[in-house]
Amino acid sequence: MIAGAPVAGQMSIGSTTGVLPPAVPTESLLLGEDLAVFRASWVAPVTAQQRIWRDDTDGRAGQATSGGVPPDFTTAATDASIAHAAALRWAMGDDGGDLAKAVDALLALDVPWGTNITRTEVMTSYLCAYDYLRGADLVELPQAERDLIEARLLSESESLTTGLTASNARAKVGATRALAGVLLRDQALLDRGLGDLQAHFDYSTTDDGWFTDSQGHYLNYTLGHIARFLRAYERGSGVDLYPNLAPYVEMSIGLRMPGGRVPNVSNGTNTPVAVHLLTQATDPQLAGGAMWSLLDGVPATYAWTTTNVLNNDWHYTSFFALTDFAEVAPSGPPAGTSFFAQGQSKLTVLRGDWSDASDWLCLSPGIDSPAGLLDAPAFHSHNDTLEILVCAKGEYLLVAPGYARADLSNSPPGFTPRRADWHNVLLVDGDVGAGEGGRKTRPRDFVYAPPVLGAAGGGASATVSTHYRSTDVTRSVAYAPRDQFVVRDTLSSSTMHEYGLNLVGRGTLTVLVETPEMIRVRWEVNARRATATITASAPLRLETASLWMHDTYNVFEPTQRVTALIDGADAQFLTVITTR
């Protein structure tokens, strides 16, 4: 699968002057004309994941709110989550107790200061809850109460702030402002929100859909806000912005690992493929592909915890995910298996096939802020320029270190995953750049050779070049149909350097051969193996170390690093990775 031609500039939200609904909505914009379908799926879930989401909504709706104005932010977040679930359950079944619970929470709405990110989570819950109740008649929800609720929603939405970053936080604030603008028919809020979203695209995305914070959980929970605005905007104002965000879809599917997840590349965890945006896409074929990606994963429950409430995990309201297009047969991507992003990201994925037991290699140039924009590093950046990641027969073996959190209850001492030597990169004197808190390379810093595709089943290859630490660096990757990836690295400088080929893997590490002419090492997990045979243009020496990977929140797995070192000005490494 080869992505389409690059577009000019960054991803775009279109006009930042919004279009309001022509009249005050009298039905839920988020549920819309699909209410009957949603209700039927509530009674008889279509999939196991729908059943889990419904049951979680039931559990949260059954909780008691604080019963008054929240005295602190944690109470406000809890009340908002319960109101959201109760309002949704009322819309599914017309239970008067659920309506009263949601209305009481909305009338007492107050959001004591949390952070610019967490206040946004809470406000989106309150806005969605009110939208679900829009179908109530004036006896159930009198106009006077509606006016009071809308005044509180408007005041709190206007008080949101974006902070100093244009990363995922800016997108979440923008989507929440824009959603409030549509639901409350407020032009200023809608326009501010659209402007925030465009600022986010300008800073945090490439034209082909790479999300610099991480294509995993940061993209997922950001889309948890954007998707709700897109749905309300399309149904309320008749403006369909789903095509504007199609690059996110293409990139996420292209990155997909065996098993239906995206890797913990950049500052991310190992997360299901872009759940939220794809669920309500207006293109049925796109929806079919999304369903395939989701259904291939393992259904998961989400605990009623303070962490999940404060971060408003959104999964329980994603009950709708597989509903709209239940009549569309889940379908995988086209027959082609390799993915070559054609825009600024220069990202490559080579895979044997789309099965759960496939071989898979990702070459990630390590993109930060888009070309020509801010010179500061993206907030969640890592030093991972030209990183490779590998799955062997479906098992993730050569890995990224993942989410940089040294403050969690299980965070191990010395967990510093932004450092270059925690990544599968080429080190020049121990690093890949100036650091700058995790600075990565910009799109303008890369040269991308056209990819080469073999015949069906005959492999593929790609080459990316860049420059750092006074050295020209080129990494070429190829997939042979006989369980092998080949990686060729070329480094050239006018001065002498110590060059390091850094590889980090899960499981048991065995050093099979260690000579100046060749190094052979093997990682093994669950009877799956990745064996790397390394040769170079100068005598080799080997260093090893134990590190950690964080690809599931607050779960840290030991990893083992090998670094093959040589000295020179011009140098080459040739690595053959065999999978078993």
Which domain CATH number covers 263? 1.50.10.100
In a domain, 13, yes or no: no
Say if residue 234 is in the same domain as residue 354. no
* Count of C-beta atoms within a 10 Å radius of residue 353: 14
User: How many angstroms from the chain centroid is the CA of residue 128?
Assistant: 22
Kindly report the CATH number assigned to the domain that includes residue 386: 2.70.98.70
Give the pLDDT of residue 281: 41
Looking at the structure, tell me whether residues 271 and 313 fall in a common domain. Answer: yes
Q: Is the pLDDT of residue 336 over 60?
A: yes
CA-CA distance, 392 to 91, in Å (whole number)?
Answer: 46
Assigned domain for 215 exists: yes
| C-alpha dist (Å) from residue 484 to 454, 563, 577 | 15, 20, 6
Let me know whether 282 and 347 are in one domain.
no
Q: Report d(CA 558, CA 546) in Å as an integer.
A: 7
- Residues 288 and 151 occupy one common structural domain: yes
Last residue of a domain, one of 322, 352, 384: 322
Instruction: Judge whether 194 lies within some domain.
Output: yes
As a whole number, mean pLDDT of residues 474-501 equals: 94
> Is residue 17 situated within a structural domain?
no
Q: Which residue has the higher pLDDT, 300 or 250?
A: 250
Which of 444, 448, 445 lies closest to 462 in space, CA to CA?
Answer: 448
Domain that holds residue 474: 339-579
Assign 3-class secondary structure to 499-527.
EEEEEEEECEEEEEEECCCCEEEEEEECC
Q: Same domain, yes or no, for 310 and 350?
A: no
CA 419/CA 441 separation, integer angstroms: 14
- Per-residue pLDDT, averaged over 460-473, amounts to 89
Question: pLDDT, tens digit, for every residue of 520-540?
Answer: 999 999 999 999 999 999 999
Q: Does residue 330 sit within a domain?
A: no
**205 and 61 within one domain:** yes
386 shares a domain with 505: yes
Given a cut of 60, whether residue 92 has pLDDT beyond it is yes
Mean pLDDT (the chain) is: 81
Looking at the structure, tell me whether residues 442 and 570 fall in a common domain: yes
pTM, two decimals, is 0.85
Look at 295 and 344; give whichever has higher pLDDT: 344
Question: Would residue 344 count as lying in a domain?
Answer: yes
Number of domains in the chain: 2
pLDDT at 47: 60
Contact between 248 and 299 (Cβ < 8 Å): no
pLDDT per position as a tens digit, 506-518: 999 999 999 999 9
Q: Is the same domain home to 437 and 348?
A: yes
> What's the rounded mean pLDDT across residues 395-401?
96
Helix/strand/coil for 465? strand
End-of-domain residue from the set 282, 297, 322: 322
Tokens of 102: 């949601």
Residue 330 has pLDDT above 50, yes or no: no
